[in-house]
């Protein structure tokens, strides 16, 4: 039993020493083909978005014990004033998450599991989890024409509309 604990401690220490396990998870996601354009990697598509003032990547474990890679993009010019100053939006962040396969499926590609926007308000509260249409967002990101939150939302609506027309709707 002591040897298992010792081995576990050594392996954990090695993970930290060797550039961190989380960085390997993020690198794995960044290297996958981007859904909107197979000629781009996920890292190329997301790390160079014109709409972002800053981007970040991290790993976390969800409430089901799954390893998650998360990407955040802080939108340019995302502040939206309100008649009630406390309700003014001060920042909007695009959040994307991937579930990292484990166990028997460990060699499978990470699976995009969440697209959403997070809003921060002047009074300090936040709202999260506004799900977005993943195919429309991947196409909008691939086109990379948006320069701020308003133009991103416009591009997203136009993409959703064209996808609906392509499917015979409207």
pLDDT in tens, 70-105: 999 999 877 777 788 888 888 889 999 999 999 898
Question: What does the mean pLDDT of the chain come to?
Answer: 80
Q: Which residues pair with 130 in a beta bridge?
A: 117
So what's the pLDDT on residue 59?
Answer: 96
Q: Which residue has the tokens 């003032």?
A: 53
Domain ranges of the chain: 22-166
User: Are 95 and 60 spatial neighbours (Cβ–Cβ below 8 Å)?
Assistant: no
């Amino acid at each position: 039993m002591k040897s298992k604990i010792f081995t576990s401690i050594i392996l954990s220490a090695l993970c930290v020493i060797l550039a961190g396990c989380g960085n390997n998870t993020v690198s794995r996601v960044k290297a996958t083909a981007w859904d909107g354009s197979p000629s781009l990697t996920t890292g190329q598509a997301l790390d160079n978005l014109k709409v972002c003032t800053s981007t970040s990547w991290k790993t976390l474990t969800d409430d089901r014990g799954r390893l998650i890679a998360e990407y955040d993009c802080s939108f340019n010019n995302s502040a939206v004033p309100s008649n009630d100053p406390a309700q003014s939006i001060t920042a909007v962040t695009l959040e994307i998450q991937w579930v990292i396969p484990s166990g028997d499926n460990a060699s499978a590609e990470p699976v995009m599991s969440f697209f959403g926007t997070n809003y921060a308000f002047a009074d300090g509260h936040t709202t999260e989890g506004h799900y977005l249409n993943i195919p429309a967002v991947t196409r909008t990101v691939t086109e990379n024409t948006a320069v701020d939150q308003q133009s991103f939302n416009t591009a997203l609506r136009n993409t959703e509309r064209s996808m609906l027309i392509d499917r015979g709707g409207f």
